[in-house]
Amino acid sequence: METLEFQSEARQLLRLMIHSVYSNKDTFLRELVSNASDALDKLRLETFRDKDLVADTSDLHVGIEVDREARTLTIRDNGIGMTREDVVGLIGTIAKSGTAEFLDKLRETQDAAASQDLIGQFGIGFYSSFMVADKVTLVTKHPRSAEGVRWESSGEGTYTIEDVPDVPQGTAVTLHLKPVDTEDHLPDYTSAAKIKEVVKRYADFITWPIRMAAEDGAEPDTINSRKALWARPAADVTEDEYAEFYRHVSHDWNKPLETIRMHGEGVFEYQALLFIPSQAPLDLFMRERKRGVQLYVKRVFIMENCEELMPEYLRFVKGVVDAHDLSLNVSREILQHDRQIQSVRRRLVKKVLSTVKSLMAGKPESYETFWREFGAAVKEGLLSDTENQETILDIASFASTHDAERPTTLAQYVERMKDDQQHIYYMTGDSRATVENSPHLEALRAKGLEVLILTDPIDEMWVDAVPGHKGRTFQSIAKGQVDLETEEEKAQAEERQKDFADFLTWMTSTLTDQVKEVRLSSRLTTSPACVVGDAHDLTPTLEKMYRAMGQ
């Protein structure tokens, strides 16, 4: 037997669980049942893929056992199990991206409600067992390991691990429950009624049977209804059921912002249940992020984060697509080239975008939340999804000089445009302050022209790629000549140009290493001079970005 230390982040998370500020302790059971369900999905998938794998898939299920005398609760599955390396890697350390940030944020938060929100958003998984147990034992066997593994810990910095013979397929997690009568007011998790209630609330839709004996020694009953939510008539499903299912697929404990149901019939039959979250995950802009849309085939889970069904820029959309006419051992390779999948994807994208559009009209507050949380990701679609470029511009909002607090849509901008205004003016920069203090803004401000303030890194890229919107072109106020003069002003400018011709030639030759050309400007009102880029030059921010990427 070996005693090992938890990795430091895991230790912090465990301490948090043991002295939990999270009031809803029932959620530990949801986490364990959800892990068991994942393990059953994985085993079934593995046996499709690897015909030589020796495993019994004839009665895959989750079992819950209570022992009132010993005050233990066991959640058992006959799924994929874990190898010794898995146990050390998955249970002893926290590989989840964003954990460090999560812990930092949590430390900064003094307010109990806010920290509950954070915990909710993060989803603490297996470690939540330590909210209700003072010792946890996990026994597991992977079909490719000769022996089983027994892991045990009281969550206080170390755990023990040892190989054990004769372990059945799958994983059993036994919780040695804390005494009932602590100041925590722990519910009695040895009560069958309590367990049933929690399973009903959190795991009813799980497609595997969850079995439990009503009392010690009785024959176990299946306690979940196992109905796939997306296959039930929309009118029969309550908002709470959707919210619970959303948690199951997304591991986000907030309520979804919007729920979308779709189905297709005919050549390619499918059902989809999609969710737009109400909060961006911590890892929205990180590469290794998992979980997007899950693919099922005839109720059987096939894969997580099915990129073939949802483009990168809508990666925050969660949910399930259940396709009826695919083979169970369909691979990513096949999906990539499947015409039907491409057409389903096109329909899903259109539906998500049109849902956002209807939020704009019908639920402006939800729309604002949506755009604040996901706008920066959605704008990536302006580059990658030219088919929907117009729609994306329709649903986009931008900071603007019109209102310091509230962003504007392009439609609202156009509404406010001056009669003779041709372009939609914008300026990119690191922050609102940089743009507002820029000399480029002076002339436009003087003329009362509105300028969009674009500060997301992606803005630099799409403004070059998107020619315009509904016949108006996007015009950077920091590039080239911004044509603002009336006829009269133009005549005056030409006069001045003549007067200063010699001076400008001299200045251009003096500064020849620094600038291409020195010219008189009509855009400044208070600053004496400013540096502008050529119409086709990179902006300073973009130059910085390329340099950072090593180009």
Q: Which residues are annotated as a binding site for ATP?
A: 31, 35, 77, 82, 96-98, 121-126, 171, 332
| Binding map of Mg ion across residues 137-176, x = CB under 5 A, - = no contact | ----------------------------------------
| Binding map of ligand ADP across residues 115-144, x = CB under 6 A, - = no contact | ----------xx------------------
Q: Which helix (H) or strand (E) holds 295?
A: strand 293-297
Q: Interhelix angle for 239-250 vs 192-203, to 10°?
A: 80
100: which 2 tokens? 């460090």
35 near ligand ADP (CB under 6 A) = yes
Of 39 and 192, which CB lies nearer to ligand ADP in the complex structure?
A: 39
Number of Cβ within a 10 Å radius of residue 199? 21
Judged by CB under 6 A, the residue of 45, 90, 231, 524 near ligand ADP is 90
Q: H-type helices in 363-482, by residue range? A: 364-378, 381-384, 389-395, 410-416, 432-436, 441-446, 457-465
Q: How far is CA 205 from CA 38, 126, 193, 238, 245, in A?
A: 13, 20, 19, 12, 7
CB 355 within 8 A of CB 258: yes
At residue 22, the 3 state secondary structure works out as coil
| Binding map of ligand ADP across residues 315-344, x = CB under 6 A, - = no contact | ------------------------------
Ordered DSSP codes for 142-180: -TT-SSEEEEEE-SSSEEEEEEESSPPSEEEEEEEEPPT
Of 35 and 539, which CB lies nearer to Mg ion in the complex structure?
A: 35
Of 129 and 271, which CB lies nearer to ligand ADP in the complex structure?
A: 129
Give the whole-angstrom CA distance, residue 383 versus residue 464.
10
At residue 243, the 3 state secondary structure works out as helix
Shortest CB 232 distance to Mg ion, Å: 25
Of 35 and 428, which CB lies nearer to Mg ion in the complex structure?
A: 35
Judged by CB under 6 A, the residue of 10, 39, 136, 223 near ligand ADP is 39
109: which 2 tokens? 């938060």
254: which 2 tokens? 């907030």
Give the whole-angstrom CA distance, residue 42 versus residue 54.
14
> What is the size of the binding site for Mg ion (CB under 5 A)?
2
| Binding map of Mg ion across residues 104-143, x = CB under 5 A, - = no contact | ---------------------x------------------
Q: Which residues between 346 and 375 bind ligand ADP (CB under 6 A)?
A: none
Give the whole-angstrom CA distance, residue 497 versus residue 501.
6
Judged by CB under 6 A, the residue of 129, 153, 169, 171 near ligand ADP is 171
410 near ligand ADP (CB under 6 A) = no
Of 35 and 153, which CB lies nearer to Mg ion in the complex structure?
A: 35
35 near Mg ion (CB under 5 A) = yes
CB 396 within 8 A of CB 360: no
Give the whole-angstrom CA distance, residue 493 versus residue 377.
43
Shortest CB 125 distance to Mg ion, Å: 4
| Binding map of ligand ADP across residues 227-266, x = CB under 6 A, - = no contact | ------------------------x---------------
Of 35 and 174, which CB lies nearer to ligand ADP in the complex structure?
A: 35
Q: Segment contacting ligand ADP (CB under 6 A): 77-85, 201-209, 215-223, 306-314?
A: 77-85
CB 149 within 8 A of CB 91: no
507 near ligand ADP (CB under 6 A) = no
Q: Which helix (H) or strand (E) holds 76?
A: strand 72-77
Q: Interhelix angle for 27-49 vs 239-250, to 10°?
A: 60
Strand order of the β-sheet with 293-297 is 258-264, 270-276, 318-323, 293-297, 300-303
Shortest CB 77 distance to ligand ADP, Å: 5
Of 36 and 320, which CB lies nearer to ligand ADP in the complex structure?
A: 36
Judged by CB under 6 A, the residue of 79, 264, 319, 375 near ligand ADP is 79
Q: H-type helices in 50-154, by residue range? A: 84-86, 99-108, 112-122
Shortest CB 231 distance to ligand ADP, Å: 24
Q: Which amino acid, 92? A: G
Shortest CB 173 distance to ligand ADP, Å: 7
Shortest CB 147 distance to ligand ADP, Å: 16
Of 91 and 352, which CB lies nearer to ligand ADP in the complex structure?
A: 91
80 near ligand ADP (CB under 6 A) = yes
Residue 356 phi, psi (nearest 5)? -65, -40
99 near Mg ion (CB under 5 A) = no
Q: In 3D, which of 197, 81, 99, 207 has the Cα closest to residue 148?
A: 81
36 near ligand ADP (CB under 6 A) = yes
Of 48 and 126, which CB lies nearer to ligand ADP in the complex structure?
A: 126
> Which listed option, Mg ion, ligand ADP, none, makes contact with residue 36 (CB within 5 to 8 Å by class)?
ligand ADP
Of 39 and 451, which CB lies nearer to ligand ADP in the complex structure?
A: 39
Contact positions vs Mg ion (CB under 5 A):
35, 125
Contact positions vs ligand ADP (CB under 6 A):
31, 35-36, 39, 77, 79-82, 90-91, 125-126, 171, 251
